[in-house]
Amino acid sequence: MNWKDEWKWLAGFTALFFGFYFLPVGAPRFDGAVTEALELTKWYTREHVVLCLIPALFIAGGIAAFVSQASVMKYFGAGANKLLSYGVASVSGTLLAVCSCTVLPMFAGIYKRGAGLGPAVAFLYSGPAVNVLAIVLTARILGFELGAARAVGAVLFSLVIGLAMHFIYRDEEAAKEKAQAALPAPEVRRPLWRTALFFASMSAVLVFANWAEAEPADAVFHAVYRMKWALTSLSALSLGFMLKAWFGADGKKLLLASLPAVALALSFPGLPVLSFSAGFIGLSWVLSSSGEEELRGWFSSSWDLAKQIFPLLIGGVLVSGFLLGRPGHEGVIPSSWVNWAVGGNSFGANFFSSVVGAFMYFATLTEVPILQGLLGAGMGKGPALALLLAGPALSLPNMLVLKTVMGVKRTAVYVALVVVMATFSGMLYGAIF
Protein backbone atom coordinates (compact mmCIF):
# COMPACT_ATOMS: atom_id res chain seq x y z
CA MET A 1 0.00 0.00 0.00
CA ASN A 2 1.30 3.45 -0.97
CA TRP A 3 0.70 5.47 2.20
CA LYS A 4 1.52 8.74 0.45
CA ASP A 5 -1.41 8.27 -1.92
CA GLU A 6 -3.67 7.12 0.90
CA TRP A 7 -2.90 10.26 2.91
CA LYS A 8 -3.87 12.36 -0.13
CA TRP A 9 -7.21 10.57 -0.27
CA LEU A 10 -7.72 11.10 3.46
CA ALA A 11 -6.89 14.80 3.16
CA GLY A 12 -9.33 15.13 0.28
CA PHE A 13 -12.15 13.41 2.16
CA THR A 14 -11.44 15.53 5.25
CA ALA A 15 -11.51 18.79 3.28
CA LEU A 16 -14.75 17.74 1.55
CA PHE A 17 -16.37 16.80 4.86
CA PHE A 18 -15.54 20.05 6.62
CA GLY A 19 -16.39 22.03 3.51
CA PHE A 20 -19.94 20.69 3.56
CA TYR A 21 -20.10 20.75 7.37
CA PHE A 22 -19.43 24.49 7.52
CA LEU A 23 -21.21 25.36 4.27
CA PRO A 24 -22.87 28.74 4.94
CA VAL A 25 -26.25 27.77 3.52
CA GLY A 26 -28.83 30.33 4.60
CA ALA A 27 -26.40 33.25 4.69
CA PRO A 28 -27.75 35.91 2.28
CA ARG A 29 -24.37 36.51 0.66
CA PHE A 30 -23.75 32.80 0.01
CA ASP A 31 -27.28 32.03 -1.15
CA GLY A 32 -27.21 35.08 -3.43
CA ALA A 33 -23.89 33.97 -4.93
CA VAL A 34 -25.29 30.49 -5.64
CA THR A 35 -28.29 32.08 -7.33
CA GLU A 36 -26.02 34.32 -9.39
CA ALA A 37 -23.94 31.32 -10.48
CA LEU A 38 -27.06 29.54 -11.71
CA GLU A 39 -28.55 32.70 -13.26
CA LEU A 40 -25.35 33.46 -15.19
CA THR A 41 -25.09 29.88 -16.42
CA LYS A 42 -28.77 29.92 -17.45
CA TRP A 43 -28.23 33.18 -19.32
CA TYR A 44 -25.06 31.86 -20.99
CA THR A 45 -26.73 28.69 -22.22
CA ARG A 46 -29.71 30.65 -23.54
CA GLU A 47 -27.81 33.45 -25.26
CA HIS A 48 -24.50 31.93 -26.32
CA VAL A 49 -24.53 28.16 -26.70
CA VAL A 50 -26.84 27.69 -29.70
CA LEU A 51 -26.20 30.97 -31.52
CA CYS A 52 -22.47 31.37 -30.70
CA LEU A 53 -20.71 28.30 -29.37
CA ILE A 54 -22.20 25.63 -31.66
CA PRO A 55 -21.52 27.58 -34.89
CA ALA A 56 -17.96 28.17 -33.66
CA LEU A 57 -17.56 24.43 -32.99
CA PHE A 58 -18.71 23.62 -36.52
CA ILE A 59 -16.27 26.18 -37.95
CA ALA A 60 -13.44 24.67 -35.89
CA GLY A 61 -14.41 21.16 -36.98
CA GLY A 62 -14.47 22.35 -40.58
CA ILE A 63 -10.92 23.65 -40.23
CA ALA A 64 -9.80 20.21 -39.09
CA ALA A 65 -11.70 18.43 -41.87
CA PHE A 66 -11.30 20.68 -44.91
CA VAL A 67 -8.11 22.68 -44.34
CA SER A 68 -4.93 20.69 -44.69
CA GLN A 69 -2.24 21.00 -42.07
CA ALA A 70 0.20 22.22 -44.69
CA SER A 71 -2.21 24.96 -45.76
CA VAL A 72 -2.56 26.24 -42.18
CA MET A 73 1.21 26.21 -41.82
CA LYS A 74 1.63 28.14 -45.07
CA TYR A 75 -0.26 31.12 -43.69
CA PHE A 76 -0.04 30.73 -39.88
CA GLY A 77 2.73 28.19 -39.31
CA ALA A 78 5.95 28.79 -37.44
CA GLY A 79 7.75 29.45 -40.74
CA ALA A 80 5.02 31.50 -42.42
CA ASN A 81 5.46 35.08 -43.59
CA LYS A 82 5.31 37.01 -40.32
CA LEU A 83 3.80 40.17 -41.80
CA LEU A 84 0.95 38.18 -43.36
CA SER A 85 0.24 35.83 -40.44
CA TYR A 86 0.37 38.43 -37.65
CA GLY A 87 -1.37 41.05 -39.77
CA VAL A 88 -4.36 38.83 -40.52
CA ALA A 89 -4.53 37.44 -36.97
CA SER A 90 -4.40 40.86 -35.31
CA VAL A 91 -7.44 42.24 -37.16
CA SER A 92 -9.55 39.06 -37.22
CA GLY A 93 -11.79 40.47 -34.51
CA THR A 94 -13.15 43.05 -36.94
CA LEU A 95 -14.97 40.20 -38.68
CA LEU A 96 -15.83 37.99 -35.69
CA ALA A 97 -18.21 39.42 -33.08
CA VAL A 98 -17.34 36.68 -30.58
CA CYS A 99 -16.69 36.51 -26.85
CA SER A 100 -13.67 35.04 -25.06
CA CYS A 101 -15.31 31.60 -24.97
CA THR A 102 -16.71 31.45 -28.50
CA VAL A 103 -13.28 32.11 -30.04
CA LEU A 104 -11.80 29.05 -28.30
CA PRO A 105 -12.94 26.33 -30.75
CA MET A 106 -11.58 28.32 -33.71
CA PHE A 107 -8.28 28.93 -31.90
CA ALA A 108 -8.03 25.22 -31.04
CA GLY A 109 -8.76 24.37 -34.67
CA ILE A 110 -5.92 26.40 -36.19
CA TYR A 111 -3.46 25.69 -33.35
CA LYS A 112 -3.90 21.92 -33.57
CA ARG A 113 -3.53 22.06 -37.36
CA GLY A 114 -0.03 23.47 -37.01
CA ALA A 115 -0.39 27.24 -36.63
CA GLY A 116 2.54 28.92 -34.93
CA LEU A 117 2.02 29.84 -31.30
CA GLY A 118 2.48 33.56 -31.98
CA PRO A 119 -0.08 33.99 -34.80
CA ALA A 120 -2.52 31.64 -33.06
CA VAL A 121 -2.35 33.66 -29.82
CA ALA A 122 -2.69 36.92 -31.77
CA PHE A 123 -5.89 35.49 -33.26
CA LEU A 124 -7.02 34.29 -29.82
CA TYR A 125 -6.74 37.79 -28.35
CA SER A 126 -7.98 39.68 -31.40
CA GLY A 127 -11.15 37.59 -31.90
CA PRO A 128 -13.09 39.01 -28.93
CA ALA A 129 -11.06 42.20 -28.36
CA VAL A 130 -11.04 43.88 -31.80
CA ASN A 131 -14.82 44.04 -32.16
CA VAL A 132 -15.86 47.00 -34.35
CA LEU A 133 -19.35 47.35 -32.87
CA ALA A 134 -18.04 47.15 -29.30
CA ILE A 135 -15.43 49.80 -30.04
CA VAL A 136 -18.03 52.10 -31.63
CA LEU A 137 -20.33 51.59 -28.64
CA THR A 138 -17.46 52.34 -26.27
CA ALA A 139 -16.70 55.60 -28.08
CA ARG A 140 -20.36 56.70 -28.12
CA ILE A 141 -21.16 55.89 -24.49
CA LEU A 142 -17.85 56.20 -22.66
CA GLY A 143 -16.16 58.85 -24.79
CA PHE A 144 -14.17 59.06 -28.01
CA GLU A 145 -10.80 58.96 -26.24
CA LEU A 146 -11.58 55.70 -24.45
CA GLY A 147 -13.01 54.14 -27.62
CA ALA A 148 -9.96 55.14 -29.67
CA ALA A 149 -7.59 53.91 -26.95
CA ARG A 150 -9.42 50.59 -26.86
CA ALA A 151 -9.20 50.17 -30.65
CA VAL A 152 -5.50 51.00 -30.86
CA GLY A 153 -4.66 49.06 -27.72
CA ALA A 154 -6.48 45.91 -28.80
CA VAL A 155 -4.72 45.68 -32.17
CA LEU A 156 -1.31 46.44 -30.64
CA PHE A 157 -1.96 43.96 -27.82
CA SER A 158 -2.70 41.13 -30.24
CA LEU A 159 0.54 41.83 -32.13
CA VAL A 160 2.76 42.32 -29.07
CA ILE A 161 1.34 39.37 -27.11
CA GLY A 162 1.61 37.09 -30.14
CA LEU A 163 5.22 38.14 -30.78
CA ALA A 164 6.04 37.82 -27.08
CA MET A 165 4.68 34.27 -26.93
CA HIS A 166 6.70 33.38 -30.03
CA PHE A 167 9.87 34.86 -28.48
CA ILE A 168 9.39 33.15 -25.10
CA TYR A 169 8.91 29.76 -26.76
CA ARG A 170 11.23 30.47 -29.71
CA ASP A 171 13.22 27.24 -29.31
CA GLU A 172 10.09 25.11 -29.48
CA GLU A 173 8.76 27.19 -32.39
CA ALA A 174 12.07 26.74 -34.24
CA ALA A 175 11.82 22.98 -33.77
CA LYS A 176 8.23 23.08 -35.00
CA GLU A 177 9.27 25.09 -38.06
CA LYS A 178 11.99 22.57 -38.86
CA ALA A 179 9.55 19.68 -38.56
CA GLN A 180 6.96 21.43 -40.68
CA ALA A 181 9.47 22.14 -43.43
CA ALA A 182 9.85 18.40 -43.97
CA LEU A 183 6.15 17.81 -44.57
CA PRO A 184 5.09 16.97 -48.15
CA ALA A 185 3.10 19.43 -50.25
CA PRO A 186 -0.61 19.18 -49.55
CA GLU A 187 -2.98 17.43 -51.94
CA VAL A 188 -5.32 20.03 -53.40
CA ARG A 189 -8.85 18.62 -53.45
CA ARG A 190 -10.62 21.86 -54.41
CA PRO A 191 -9.65 25.43 -55.31
CA LEU A 192 -8.77 27.71 -52.44
CA TRP A 193 -11.55 30.15 -53.33
CA ARG A 194 -14.17 27.45 -52.77
CA THR A 195 -12.84 26.62 -49.32
CA ALA A 196 -12.65 30.34 -48.51
CA LEU A 197 -16.28 30.91 -49.56
CA PHE A 198 -17.37 27.88 -47.55
CA PHE A 199 -15.81 29.23 -44.35
CA ALA A 200 -17.05 32.73 -45.15
CA SER A 201 -20.63 31.43 -45.26
CA MET A 202 -20.24 29.67 -41.89
CA SER A 203 -18.65 32.77 -40.38
CA ALA A 204 -21.48 34.89 -41.77
CA VAL A 205 -24.04 32.70 -40.00
CA LEU A 206 -22.13 33.21 -36.73
CA VAL A 207 -21.66 36.97 -37.19
CA PHE A 208 -25.14 37.91 -38.41
CA ALA A 209 -26.99 35.70 -35.92
CA ASN A 210 -25.21 37.49 -33.08
CA TRP A 211 -25.32 41.01 -34.50
CA ALA A 212 -26.17 43.27 -31.58
CA GLU A 213 -28.79 46.00 -31.67
CA ALA A 214 -27.38 49.39 -32.66
CA GLU A 215 -28.65 52.94 -32.35
CA PRO A 216 -30.26 54.47 -35.49
CA ALA A 217 -27.43 57.03 -35.49
CA ASP A 218 -25.06 54.17 -36.39
CA ALA A 219 -26.72 53.79 -39.79
CA VAL A 220 -24.75 50.80 -41.14
CA PHE A 221 -24.83 48.73 -37.93
CA HIS A 222 -28.52 49.55 -37.45
CA ALA A 223 -29.37 48.55 -41.04
CA VAL A 224 -27.56 45.23 -40.66
CA TYR A 225 -29.34 44.61 -37.35
CA ARG A 226 -32.74 45.07 -39.01
CA MET A 227 -31.81 42.53 -41.69
CA LYS A 228 -29.82 40.15 -39.46
CA TRP A 229 -32.13 37.14 -39.78
CA ALA A 230 -32.54 37.55 -43.52
CA LEU A 231 -28.76 37.71 -43.88
CA THR A 232 -28.34 34.72 -41.56
CA SER A 233 -30.84 32.69 -43.60
CA LEU A 234 -29.14 33.65 -46.87
CA SER A 235 -25.77 32.59 -45.45
CA ALA A 236 -27.19 29.23 -44.29
CA LEU A 237 -28.78 28.68 -47.70
CA SER A 238 -25.46 29.40 -49.41
CA LEU A 239 -23.78 26.92 -47.09
CA GLY A 240 -26.27 24.24 -48.07
CA PHE A 241 -25.68 24.78 -51.78
CA MET A 242 -21.92 24.58 -51.29
CA LEU A 243 -22.22 21.36 -49.29
CA LYS A 244 -24.20 19.80 -52.12
CA ALA A 245 -22.18 21.13 -55.06
CA TRP A 246 -18.61 21.07 -53.74
CA PHE A 247 -18.50 18.62 -50.83
CA GLY A 248 -20.75 15.79 -52.00
CA ALA A 249 -23.55 16.09 -49.42
CA ASP A 250 -26.80 14.28 -50.20
CA GLY A 251 -29.25 16.83 -51.61
CA LYS A 252 -32.36 15.00 -50.36
CA LYS A 253 -30.98 14.72 -46.83
CA LEU A 254 -30.07 18.42 -46.85
CA LEU A 255 -33.62 19.30 -47.89
CA LEU A 256 -35.17 17.05 -45.23
CA ALA A 257 -32.83 18.43 -42.59
CA SER A 258 -33.73 22.02 -43.45
CA LEU A 259 -37.53 21.61 -43.32
CA PRO A 260 -37.91 21.55 -39.48
CA ALA A 261 -35.62 24.59 -39.16
CA VAL A 262 -37.59 26.55 -41.74
CA ALA A 263 -40.93 25.54 -40.19
CA LEU A 264 -39.82 26.59 -36.70
CA ALA A 265 -38.40 29.88 -37.99
CA LEU A 266 -41.75 30.75 -39.62
CA SER A 267 -43.84 29.53 -36.68
CA PHE A 268 -41.75 31.06 -33.88
CA PRO A 269 -39.91 34.08 -35.34
CA GLY A 270 -39.23 35.43 -31.87
CA LEU A 271 -37.41 32.26 -30.76
CA PRO A 272 -34.54 31.77 -33.21
CA VAL A 273 -32.92 29.29 -30.82
CA LEU A 274 -35.57 26.72 -31.87
CA SER A 275 -34.87 26.93 -35.60
CA PHE A 276 -31.10 27.08 -34.97
CA SER A 277 -31.26 23.96 -32.79
CA ALA A 278 -33.25 22.10 -35.43
CA GLY A 279 -30.83 23.25 -38.11
CA PHE A 280 -27.77 22.03 -36.23
CA ILE A 281 -29.42 18.71 -35.39
CA GLY A 282 -30.28 18.28 -39.07
CA LEU A 283 -26.77 19.23 -40.19
CA SER A 284 -25.28 16.77 -37.70
CA TRP A 285 -27.50 14.02 -39.12
CA VAL A 286 -26.48 14.85 -42.69
CA LEU A 287 -22.77 14.87 -41.84
CA SER A 288 -22.72 11.79 -39.59
CA SER A 289 -24.74 9.67 -42.06
CA SER A 290 -22.82 10.82 -45.13
CA GLY A 291 -20.68 8.48 -47.14
CA GLU A 292 -18.14 11.24 -47.73
CA GLU A 293 -15.10 10.87 -45.47
CA GLU A 294 -14.56 14.64 -45.23
CA LEU A 295 -18.12 15.29 -44.07
CA ARG A 296 -18.01 12.56 -41.43
CA GLY A 297 -14.63 13.90 -40.33
CA TRP A 298 -16.16 17.38 -40.01
CA PHE A 299 -18.85 16.13 -37.63
CA SER A 300 -16.38 13.96 -35.69
CA SER A 301 -13.95 16.86 -35.19
CA SER A 302 -16.71 19.23 -34.08
CA TRP A 303 -18.08 16.66 -31.64
CA ASP A 304 -14.64 15.96 -30.15
CA LEU A 305 -14.13 19.69 -29.55
CA ALA A 306 -17.59 19.99 -28.00
CA LYS A 307 -16.82 17.22 -25.50
CA GLN A 308 -13.53 18.86 -24.61
CA ILE A 309 -14.71 22.48 -24.35
CA PHE A 310 -18.35 22.57 -23.26
CA PRO A 311 -18.04 21.03 -19.74
CA LEU A 312 -15.14 23.33 -18.85
CA LEU A 313 -16.99 26.40 -20.12
CA ILE A 314 -20.12 25.65 -18.12
CA GLY A 315 -18.07 24.95 -15.00
CA GLY A 316 -16.12 28.16 -15.48
CA VAL A 317 -19.28 30.23 -15.96
CA LEU A 318 -20.71 28.77 -12.75
CA VAL A 319 -17.60 29.71 -10.75
CA SER A 320 -17.43 33.16 -12.36
CA GLY A 321 -21.08 33.86 -11.49
CA PHE A 322 -20.57 32.65 -7.92
CA LEU A 323 -17.57 34.91 -7.35
CA LEU A 324 -18.52 38.07 -9.25
CA GLY A 325 -22.19 37.73 -10.17
CA ARG A 326 -23.85 39.28 -13.22
CA PRO A 327 -23.97 42.93 -14.33
CA GLY A 328 -26.01 44.74 -11.68
CA HIS A 329 -25.96 41.76 -9.29
CA GLU A 330 -23.39 40.67 -6.73
CA GLY A 331 -21.68 37.36 -6.23
CA VAL A 332 -19.83 36.32 -3.10
CA ILE A 333 -17.39 39.23 -3.65
CA PRO A 334 -19.18 42.53 -2.87
CA SER A 335 -19.20 45.01 -5.75
CA SER A 336 -18.34 47.77 -3.25
CA TRP A 337 -14.92 46.15 -2.87
CA VAL A 338 -14.40 46.39 -6.62
CA ASN A 339 -15.57 50.01 -6.77
CA TRP A 340 -13.25 50.94 -3.88
CA ALA A 341 -10.26 49.17 -5.42
CA VAL A 342 -10.39 50.73 -8.91
CA GLY A 343 -10.56 54.43 -8.07
CA GLY A 344 -7.73 56.73 -9.14
CA ASN A 345 -4.86 55.72 -11.41
CA SER A 346 -2.46 53.90 -9.11
CA PHE A 347 -0.65 50.71 -10.06
CA GLY A 348 -2.84 48.80 -7.60
CA ALA A 349 -6.07 50.15 -9.12
CA ASN A 350 -5.01 49.28 -12.67
CA PHE A 351 -3.65 45.88 -11.69
CA PHE A 352 -6.79 45.00 -9.73
CA SER A 353 -8.98 46.10 -12.63
CA SER A 354 -6.96 43.95 -15.05
CA VAL A 355 -7.17 40.89 -12.81
CA VAL A 356 -10.91 41.25 -12.19
CA GLY A 357 -11.47 41.78 -15.91
CA ALA A 358 -9.36 38.73 -16.73
CA PHE A 359 -11.35 36.39 -14.47
CA MET A 360 -14.86 37.81 -14.94
CA TYR A 361 -16.93 36.60 -17.89
CA PHE A 362 -18.00 39.34 -20.32
CA ALA A 363 -20.38 38.56 -23.15
CA THR A 364 -19.88 40.67 -26.27
CA LEU A 365 -20.82 44.33 -25.59
CA THR A 366 -21.74 43.79 -21.92
CA GLU A 367 -18.48 45.35 -20.77
CA VAL A 368 -19.69 48.80 -21.89
CA PRO A 369 -22.72 49.16 -19.56
CA ILE A 370 -20.70 47.56 -16.74
CA LEU A 371 -17.98 50.16 -17.15
CA GLN A 372 -20.55 52.93 -17.42
CA GLY A 373 -21.79 52.01 -13.94
CA LEU A 374 -18.27 51.64 -12.52
CA LEU A 375 -17.15 55.00 -13.92
CA GLY A 376 -20.21 56.58 -12.36
CA ALA A 377 -19.21 55.01 -9.04
CA GLY A 378 -15.75 56.58 -9.14
CA MET A 379 -13.65 54.24 -11.27
CA GLY A 380 -10.59 55.92 -12.80
CA LYS A 381 -10.17 56.18 -16.58
CA GLY A 382 -6.94 54.19 -16.50
CA PRO A 383 -8.47 51.18 -14.72
CA ALA A 384 -11.43 51.44 -17.12
CA LEU A 385 -9.13 50.97 -20.13
CA ALA A 386 -7.28 48.19 -18.30
CA LEU A 387 -10.55 46.33 -17.84
CA LEU A 388 -11.53 46.90 -21.49
CA LEU A 389 -8.23 45.43 -22.69
CA ALA A 390 -8.17 42.44 -20.32
CA GLY A 391 -11.86 41.65 -19.83
CA PRO A 392 -13.33 40.77 -23.25
CA ALA A 393 -10.30 38.67 -24.25
CA LEU A 394 -10.05 36.59 -21.05
CA SER A 395 -12.32 34.89 -18.54
CA LEU A 396 -12.12 32.04 -16.07
CA PRO A 397 -13.96 29.66 -18.45
CA ASN A 398 -11.58 30.75 -21.22
CA MET A 399 -8.53 29.91 -19.08
CA LEU A 400 -9.85 26.48 -18.10
CA VAL A 401 -10.23 25.51 -21.75
CA LEU A 402 -6.95 27.08 -22.86
CA LYS A 403 -4.92 24.96 -20.46
CA THR A 404 -6.24 21.82 -22.17
CA VAL A 405 -5.36 23.19 -25.62
CA MET A 406 -1.87 24.67 -25.14
CA GLY A 407 -0.90 23.57 -21.63
CA VAL A 408 -0.82 25.15 -18.20
CA LYS A 409 2.48 27.02 -18.62
CA ARG A 410 1.62 28.66 -21.95
CA THR A 411 -1.82 29.61 -20.64
CA ALA A 412 -0.30 31.16 -17.52
CA VAL A 413 2.20 33.14 -19.62
CA TYR A 414 -0.56 34.35 -21.95
CA VAL A 415 -2.76 35.46 -19.04
CA ALA A 416 0.17 37.17 -17.34
CA LEU A 417 1.07 39.07 -20.53
CA VAL A 418 -2.51 40.33 -20.95
CA VAL A 419 -2.79 41.41 -17.31
CA VAL A 420 0.60 43.13 -17.19
CA MET A 421 0.14 44.95 -20.50
CA ALA A 422 -3.40 46.01 -19.57
CA THR A 423 -2.13 47.32 -16.23
CA PHE A 424 0.59 49.54 -17.68
CA SER A 425 -1.57 50.63 -20.61
CA GLY A 426 -4.20 51.76 -18.12
CA MET A 427 -1.62 53.67 -16.10
CA LEU A 428 -0.32 55.43 -19.23
CA TYR A 429 -3.81 56.31 -20.43
CA GLY A 430 -4.82 57.55 -16.97
CA ALA A 431 -1.73 59.73 -16.76
CA ILE A 432 -2.46 61.34 -20.15
CA PHE A 433 -6.23 61.81 -19.81
Question: Per-residue pLDDT for the chain (433 aa), expressed as one digit of tens each?
Answer: 567 777 888 888 899 899 888 888 888 889 998 998 898 888 888 877 888 888 888 887 887 788 766 667 677 776 677 887 888 888 776 666 667 777 888 888 888 877 888 888 998 898 788 777 678 778 877 888 888 898 888 889 999 999 999 999 988 888 877 776 655 555 667 787 888 899 889 888 988 888 878 778 778 888 888 899 999 999 999 999 999 998 888 889 999 999 999 999 999 988 999 999 999 999 999 998 876 788 998 999 889 888 887 887 788 788 878 887 776 788 888 877 777 788 788 899 999 999 988 888 776 667 776 777 677 667 888 999 999 899 888 888 889 889 988 999 999 999 999 999 999 999 999 888 8
With 0-12 CB in 10 A as exposed, 13-18 as middle and 19+ as buried, what is 4?
exposed
Distance in angstroms (rounded) separating the CA atoms of residues 191 and 169 = 34
Phi-psi region of 115 (alpha: psi -120 to 50; beta: other; left: phi over 0): beta
20: in domain: no
Strand partners, 77: 115
222: in domain: yes
| pLDDT recorded at residue 364 | 63
| pLDDT recorded at residue 360 | 82
Domain that holds residue 218: 28-249+290-432
Assess contact for 247 and 202: CB atoms under 8 A: no
141: in domain: yes
> What is the pTM assigned to this prediction?
0.76
19: in domain: no
270: in domain: no
275: in domain: no
303: in domain: yes
The shares of helix, strand and coil residues in the chain, as percent rounded to the nearest 5, are 80, 0, 20
Instruction: Provide the number of structural domains found in the chain.
Output: 1
Assess contact for 347 and 338: CB atoms under 8 A: no
Distance in angstroms (rounded) separating the CA atoms of residues 324 and 314 = 15
| pLDDT recorded at residue 411 | 94
Distance in angstroms (rounded) separating the CA atoms of residues 116 and 179 = 12
Note the maximum CA span of the chain: 73
334: in domain: yes
Contacts of residue 249, defined as CB under 8 A and 6 or more positions apart, other chains included, come to 243, 286, 287, 290, 292, 295
| pLDDT recorded at residue 241 | 93
